[in-house]
């Protein structure tokens, strides 16, 4: 049987290929997946359903399905509730599609999905109906057992914070900005894809040319890797207001005496004509993090973000830049990357 990781990747690619509109039913979607992978996936219906939810978010509370696809055990993650208290009340409900709220395990999935929202944006206490096991539960590792005591909220900061990536590392992970966890995940995918683990000691990483540029060594191990990786992860100012209540930030600022703008490792990138027009300042080069910050400033200033579903509703100016009417919050940096180029 295919691994969950492979299956998740396959679900993602299929969703991207066809778009949300192409998913008419879970059965149909599974059939497409089965054709792609050449195996029976009926036992994975629940997992696939969860993956679709993670990818599409609250736009798709549940993929329409018949009761035969998700068996009784799997469907225990969902509890049918009266329409009035639906978690997704702001979404027009389709006829014949049951509404659900999450029991604890799926609440974790939902919380994970919200990771890129700031805590003041995502407030389950106001969006979710009162529940003995509210979606306020912290993000937990899959290994953790069910009866986790209520802890403080996880929130979008910390490890989920989106950081900038140096051009060297960008050639590996493929994105200009990512969460640290995502960077590590993509890096490991790259290592496996290129078979860079020492067969005798799989903790050891043999660097190819691209990786050598990043790590500046011929080989490293999985523990040192994160340390080396840190040099290529650049904090973005947008996700954290300068002078906010971060105790450590205050401490490090005091100790180091560093202005935020002087943090090294960033490169000036050439601005596309479209982005230059959007910025309207006449400048032709910009730091990647600064470009992202300005776009987000514009989005916030014009109240273009729908905090309920973390979508950006593009006005005419943004439509000219991104060539679309709406975009997910997490997709902004990706779209922006098409307007920034390395200097030749």
Q: Smallest distance, Å, CB 82 to DNA?
A: 30
Binding to DNA (CB under 7 A): which residues in 109-148? 112, 119, 138-145, 148
Q: Which helix (H) or strand (E) holds 328?
A: strand 326-328
* Residue 27 beta carbon to DNA: minimum distance, rounded to whole angstroms: 28
Q: Which of 42, 46, 33 is nearest to 6 (CA)?
A: 33
Nearer to DNA, 87 or 140 (CB): 140
Query: For DNA, which is the closer residue by CB, 30 or 292?
Result: 292
Question: How far are the Cα atoms of 267, 287, 338 from residue 341, in angstroms, in the given order?
Answer: 10, 11, 8
Q: Which two tokens stand for residue 50?
A: 């969860």
The CA-based angle 136-138-143, given to 5 degrees, is 135
Q: State which residue, 67 or 141, has the beta carbon closest to DNA.
A: 141
Residue 304 carries which DSSP code?
-
- Continuous segment of H or E residues that includes residue 204: strand 204-206
Q: In the bound complex, what is the minimum distance in angstroms from residue 271's beta carbon to DNA?
A: 26
How far apart CA 243 and CA 247 sit, in angstroms, is 10
Q: Site for DNA (CB under 7 A): which residue of 22, 80, 85, 181? A: 181
Are 83 and 93 spatial neighbours (Cβ–Cβ below 8 Å)? yes
Q: Which of 77, 101, 113, 161 binds DNA (CB under 7 A)?
A: 161
**Residues within window 182-211 making contact with DNA, judged by CB under 7 A:** 184-185, 188, 192, 197, 201-203
Place of tokens 């993090």: 289
**In the complex with DNA, which residue's Cβ is closer, 19 or 199?**
199
CB of 266 to DNA, least distance (A): 14
Identity of the residue, 202 or 320, whose beta carbon is nearer to DNA in the bound complex: 202
Spell out, one character per residue from 222 to 261, where the chain touches DNA: x when CB under 7 A holds, - when not.
Answer: xx-xxx--x--x-x----x---xxxxxxxx--x-------
Check residue 160 for interaction with DNA (CB under 7 A).
Answer: yes
Q: How far is the CB of 233 from DNA (least distance, A)?
A: 7
Q: Which segment (11-19, 42-50, 153-161, 299-307) binds DNA by CB under 7 A?
A: 153-161
Report the SS3 class of residue 242: coil
Rounded Cα gap, residues 70 and 66, in angstroms: 8
Q: How many chain residues interact with DNA (CB under 7 A)? A: 49
* Distances from the Cα of 56 to the Cα of 59, 60, 86, 241, 327, angstroms: 6, 6, 18, 29, 12
State in Å, rounded, how far the first CA of the chain is from the last one: 47
CA angle 282, 283, 286 (to 5 degrees): 150
* Positions in the binding site for DNA (CB under 7 A): 112, 119, 138-145, 148, 151-155, 157-161, 180-181, 184-185, 188, 192, 197, 201-203, 222-223, 225-227, 230, 233, 235, 240, 244-251, 254
């Amino acid at each position: 049987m295919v691994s969950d990781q492979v299956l998740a990747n396959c679900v993602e690619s299929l969703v991207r290929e066809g778009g949300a509109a192409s998913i008419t039913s879970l059965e149909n979607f599974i059939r497409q997946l089965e054709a792609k992978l050449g195996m029976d996936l009926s036992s994975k219906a629940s997992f696939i359903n969860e993956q679709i939810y993670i990818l599409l978010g609250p736009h798709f509370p549940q993929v329409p399905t018949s009761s035969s696809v998700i068996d009784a055990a799997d469907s225990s993650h969902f509890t049918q509730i009266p329409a009035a208290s639906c978690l997704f009340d702001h979404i027009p409900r389709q006829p014949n599609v049951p509404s659900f709220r999450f029991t604890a395990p799926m609440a974790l999935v939902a919380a994970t999905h919200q990771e890129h929202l700031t805590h003041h944006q995502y407030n389950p206490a106001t969006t979710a109906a009162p529940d003995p096991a509210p979606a306020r539960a912290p993000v937990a590792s899959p290994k953790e057992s069910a009866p986790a005591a209520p802890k403080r909220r996880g929130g979008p900061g910390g490890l989920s914070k989106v950081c900038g990536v140096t051009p060297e590392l960008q050639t590996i992970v493929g994105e200009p900005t990512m969460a640290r966890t995502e960077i590590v995940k993509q890096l490991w995918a790259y290592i496996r894809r290129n078979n860079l683990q020492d067969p005798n000691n799989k903790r050891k990483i043999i660097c190819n040319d691209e990786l050598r540029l990043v790590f500046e060594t011929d080989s490293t191990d999985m523990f040192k890797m994160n340390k080396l990786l840190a040099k290529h992860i650049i904090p973005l100012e947008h996700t954290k207001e300068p002078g906010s209540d971060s105790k450590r930030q205050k401490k490090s600022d005091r100790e180091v005496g560093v202005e935020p703008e002087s943090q090294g490792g960033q490169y000036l990138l050439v601005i596309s004509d479209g982005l230059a027009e959007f910025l309207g300042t006449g400048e032709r080069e910009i730091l990647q993090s600064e470009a992202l910050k300005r776009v987000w400033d514009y989005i916030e200033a014009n109240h273009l973000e729908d905090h309920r579903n973390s979508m950006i509703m593009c006005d005419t100016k943004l439509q000219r830049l991104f060539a679309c009417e709406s975009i997910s919050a997490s997709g902004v940096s990706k779209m922006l990357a098409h307007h920034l180029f390395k200097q030749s």
